[in-house]
Amino acid sequence: MHPRKSLEVKRQWVTLRCFCLFVMLSSLLGPLWARGQDRVANLVRNGGFEGGSGPDGKGGGVPEWLPYGQGYDIDRRFMHGGEQCIRCDSTDTSSLHGAMQTIELNQQSPVPIVVVGWSRADSVEGNNPADYAIYVDLTYNDGTPLWGQVAAFSAGTHDWEREQLVIYPEKPVKSLTLYMLFRYHRGTVWFDDVSLYLLRGPHIFDGQLLDVPTRPQTAAPWQTLTSEDRSLSLTFDARGTLAAVRVRGRKMNGAAVGGFLLRDVGNDGPLIPLEGRFTPRQAGGVNFNGVVSALHVVFSIALYPKGNGIGVDGTLIDKTGQDRALSLYLTVPFAGSDLVWGEDIQRAFPVEADEEYENQVQISVGTTGGLSRYPFACVAGRAGGFMMAEDIQWPAVFRIFYNAPHHLLVIGWDVALTGKSQVWPTHTARVRCELFSLPPLPVEQVGGRELALTTMPFREAAMQFYRANALFYPEQHKPYGIWMPFTAPESVEGWPDFGFAFHEGDNSIKQDNAAGILCFRYIEPSSYWMPMADNLPRTYEEAMSLIQARAKEAMPPRPLDALHDPTPQEWARAVLNSGVQDSNGRFYVQFSKVPWNDGALFILNPSPGLPATPEQPTKASLSYTVEGADRLFGAENTQKNGRLDGIYLDSLESWADTCDYRLSDLQACPYPLTFDSGFRKPCVPQWYWVHDFTRFISADLHNRGRLLMANSTPERFCIFAPLLDVMGSEVNWLYEGRFFPDSDALLCYRRTLCYQKPFLMLMDTNFDRFDHSMVEQYFQRCLFYDLFPSMFSADASTHPYWETPKWYNRDRDLFKRYIPLFQQLSAAGWQPLTWAIADNPSLRIERYGDRFFTISNTTARPQDGSVYVFIARVPSLAGARKAVERLAQKEIPLQNQNGALLFPIALGPHATEVVELR
């Protein structure tokens, strides 16, 4: 049913993202690193697998490299460099092979780590791409681990492929273990030329060893663009150099300059400044046009006032007629000695001179394999701040980062220019963003001393983003409730005690209507789970033979507006018509035995733009059409079965890293194409297709006054949240018998991307071991960010919590105590601008409405302190006379001290309290 964690590439990385880190896949080609060898030291010992006297009988034999599992053999026929490499042969999908090496780093401060390696493959097959990969486990200086950092190589047969992994650790790293991994796959692979470097200094740009070009001296005439509220202005010189950035009239860039840069990634080219000419834009602003002769690329970039910001809309056109992999950057100079980088609503980092700052996630496409986690980013100091925001109308591979050595806030896009696109214009790409000023970093008087509210610039940026996208982020003040998966809520004993509000399922519509519970019809956007008989081999050939046979079978006529579940014959034809394909033209198929299926899993393209008929269906035509929705939500079906409130999309971000190379799909893509990280080929990542499907359903449902709910988002991708009304994720916070929650960085990501929309949690675990005390810890952790907690099943399918009275009756008191508080907070509405601070840094604060504050102890020890709320920033609190701890049900002292409301707080380990000011 839900996210299939054992089947997803890098799923463990997502759920264990307990630290602020960024992991990237392949980004740099050999010549680039060769140019940088004199600037960086390879910390891998014997990265070329040279020497040794032959196999040692234990799977090893190469100096410095221990065997992993059954180890490796030495090969002197297919080296990438030097005189030999290592080879792993596997005849089944259960064996473990590879080489491993532990490297001591003993970092004094966190420094980015890059690992590079080469591999070739022959007839490689397996379920999880992450099992044929560069794989790293780290240990921080404080002993905490960071496991499973992965850069996957391609399966199938291919020559030497280069992959890269970059890790941006939150804490200093003591050591790491590096694996060249080949497990649970069959076939033969070779590994060679492995490197590990530390990244920092002036030669780093976008996580790569790239030199920022020196621009010629600025020259008149000048072109200045100013936002409508005059809070931001940008001044360009005649060639296109961004020479001045002013925030509220104050020049903020010092001597630094910026502008647009273009890079030919496919040919490992350098950064090239765009030079052109400015002409007036009829709708306001200017057009910046020109030709990059060295790359045979034409560019046209519109810059124009847009509300209190400046809009940027750029187009690139290739003139060679070839497939191109390019990166376009907009670099905005912004300098200051007191700048902070906003990581998220809870973390901000002082900018250091030789660092690059970003908050990114790992994907399978683009130059670096990195994607900005948030759709915006910012830096700020006491003189003012600056933010960039990606356009959220369509998906794009983009990164926003601050490059301190060159004083540049940068947004970069990775695009493919190709003749393979058709719906999107051929050989063309388009990118869009907005630029905004931010208020100065606020400093308040607290207890006779000045304290900088360092997370406020990011919070201000979030509010600016919501305002700029108000259509997708309306203010909402509703007392939401919890998520019920499948089971009819009314079948639970004493069901009103639990606060059910959202029912994933349409099996009790009339009862849900009467109970005031919203109900949703279930759809999986990307998958077809095909059962296979026990005696059939789990091979690609056998799975495709079944598909081909069933596709030829006769099937009863089924109009596109039918409501019943698809038949096996329809599914088979949908696989052939809309199954995504790898670069060798093979359909993506995995094999598994899970509670809901024993057989094959096909990944399909759910785009509604693919042609479909009743006889030749696609994934989209089997899942959702306008005609089908007319019947589903129409008066006849509503009168007969009850009012269905919307659609539920399961596993929204699952299999997102699958890359589709199918020519007919590339032709049908409605978005600018990108390219894969390994070979730089044009492709469509699965999350593009899922966005296309989600956008279509969202628009249709909202036109009908219905809602769209989705599971497993936001986890890595920010692009879906604007389209959704209700979001959620399934989690398992029980690890080796201990309570092991998602990281605070992930929890606040969910809150920020949802804004005031509800976010729901389902716990998938062993509820005998996840006892009453752990359930309360779960509720406490969720309460801080008002993420509604609920339960499901240990295997996301069978023996559900809500059909087991001994479990829900055990925890009934917790639901009755906590869920009304969650509902009060959601009715008040989350406010990113807390305008409150604790004098103890171990205490964190969020605000809901004007009156409610959640305070959380982030440590494993009791903590106490004082909370200051600044009345000038929240003037409606000027009349507050008392403070009440809602969980403890007691009044606490409230003082007005020099314009700040002050109250004490004492919390147990990892505890949360709700304080209401009255």
Whole-angstrom distance, CA of residue 336 vs CA of residue 816: 51
Summarize pLDDT for 476-525 with one digit per residue, the tens.
899 999 999 999 999 999 999 999 999 999 999 999 999 999 999 999 99
Whole-angstrom distance, CA of residue 841 vs CA of residue 865: 9
Summarize pLDDT for 88-129 with one digit per residue, the tens.
999 999 999 999 999 999 998 888 798 989 999 999 998 888
Residue 10 pLDDT > 90, yes or no?
no
Q: Among 163-177, 178-192, 749-763, which stretch is predicted with the lowest mean pLDDT?
A: 163-177
Summarize pLDDT for 455-490 with one digit per residue, the tens.
999 999 999 999 999 999 999 899 999 999 999 999
Whole-angstrom distance, CA of residue 8 vs CA of residue 361: 15
Per-residue pLDDT, 35: 36
Whole-angstrom distance, CA of residue 762 vs CA of residue 796: 9
Contact 846, 854 (CB under 8 A): yes
Helix residue ranges per DSSP H, 343-499: 456-468
Task: Tell me the mean pLDDT in the region 742-767.
Answer: 98
Give 712's Cβ-side CA count (13 Å radius): 24
Per-residue pLDDT, 561: 54
Give 650's Cβ-side CA count (13 Å radius): 20
Task: Tell me the mean pLDDT in the region 375-379.
Answer: 99
Per-residue pLDDT, 9: 28
To 10 degrees, the CA torsion angle through 458, 463, 464, 466?
130
Residue 36 pLDDT > 90, yes or no?
no
Tell which wins on pLDDT, 321 or 450.
321
Sequence-ordered strand ranges (E) for 41-169: 66-67, 73-75, 85-90, 96-104, 113-126, 132-140, 145-152, 156-167
What percentage of the chain reaches a pLDDT higher than 90? 85
Summarize pLDDT for 48-80 with one digit per residue, the tens.
999 987 777 788 999 999 999 999 999 999 999
Amino acid at 878: A
Summarize pLDDT for 780-792 with one digit per residue, the tens.
999 999 999 999 9
Task: Tell me the mean pLDDT in the region 248-258.
Answer: 96
Tokens of 835: 């305008």
Summarize pLDDT for 141-183 with one digit per residue, the tens.
999 899 999 989 989 999 998 888 888 787 899 999 999 999 9
Per-residue pLDDT, 40: 61
Task: Tell me the mean pLDDT in the region 896-906.
Answer: 94
Residue 619 pLDDT > 90, yes or no?
yes
Summarize pLDDT for 92-103 with one digit per residue, the tens.
999 999 999 999
Residue 200 pLDDT > 50, yes or no?
yes
Query: What are the angstrom distances between the C-alpha of 308 and each of 311, 400, 455, 544?
Result: 10, 20, 22, 55
Per-residue pLDDT, 557: 74
DSSP tag of 877? G
Residue 260 pLDDT > 80, yes or no?
yes
Q: How confident is the model at residue 685 (pLDDT cuts 50, 70, 90)?
A: very high
Instruction: Look at strands 912-917 and 883-885 and give their pairing.
Output: antiparallel
What does 797-835 look like in DSSP terms, one character per residue?
Answer: SSS-GGG-HHHHHHHHHHHHHHHHHHHHHHHH-EES---
Residue 374 pLDDT > 50, yes or no?
yes
Residue 439 pLDDT > 60, yes or no?
yes
Residue with tokens 């630290």: 19
Kindly report the CA angle at 46 between 45 and 50, in degrees rounded to 5? Answer: 165
Query: What are the angstrom distances between the C-alpha of 177 and each of 54, 144, 145, 729?
Result: 23, 14, 11, 31
Strands across the sheet containing 271-273: 271-273, 259-264, 324-333, 408-417, 398-403, 356-358
Task: Tell me the mean pLDDT in the region 77-85.
Answer: 95
Q: Which domains does the chain have, with CATH numbers?
A: 5-29+41-198 (2.60.120.260), 216-265+270-468 (2.70.98), 481-525+712-829 (no CATH), 527-627+655-686 (no CATH), 834-917 (2.60.40.1180)
Bridge partner residues of 152 (DSSP): 133
Per-residue pLDDT, 371: 96
Q: Among 13-17, 124-128, 359-363, which stretch is predicted with the lowest mean pLDDT?
A: 13-17
Per-residue pLDDT, 34: 34
Instruction: Look at strands 204-205 and 156-167 and give their pairing.
Output: unpaired
Q: How confident is the model at residue 240 (pLDDT cuts 50, 70, 90)?
A: very high
Residue 195 pLDDT > 50, yes or no?
yes
What percentage of the chain reaches a pLDDT higher than 70? 95
Task: Tell me the mean pLDDT in the region 415-419.
Answer: 99
Strands across the sheet containing 900-907: 836-838, 863-870, 900-907, 895-897
Residue 6 pLDDT > 60, yes or no?
no
DSSP tag of 220? S
Per-residue pLDDT, 354: 86
As a whole number, the mean pLDDT across the chain is 93
Per-residue pLDDT, 164: 83
Per-residue pLDDT, 558: 66
Strands across the sheet containing 527-531: 527-531, 597-603, 589-594
Residue 217 pLDDT > 90, yes or no?
no
Nearest to 558 by CA among 611, 619, 628: 628
Whole-angstrom distance, CA of residue 311 vs CA of residue 318: 24
Nearest to 43 by CA among 108, 98, 103, 133: 103
Residue 878 pLDDT > 80, yes or no?
yes
Summarize pLDDT for 530-584 with one digit per residue, the tens.
999 999 999 999 999 999 999 999 987 766 555 678 999 999 999 999 999 999 9
Nearest to 339 by CA among 207, 203, 208, 452: 452
Summarize pLDDT for 276-285 with one digit per residue, the tens.
999 999 999 9
Q: Among 181-190, 444-453, 590-599, which stretch is predicted with the lowest mean pLDDT?
A: 444-453
Task: Tell me the mean pLDDT in the region 400-419.
Answer: 98
Tokens of 330: 């907009």
Task: Tell me the mean pLDDT in the region 698-717.
Answer: 98
Per-residue pLDDT, 348: 97
Query: What are the angstrom distances between the C-alpha of 794 and each of 483, 734, 763, 798, 894?
Result: 16, 10, 8, 8, 45
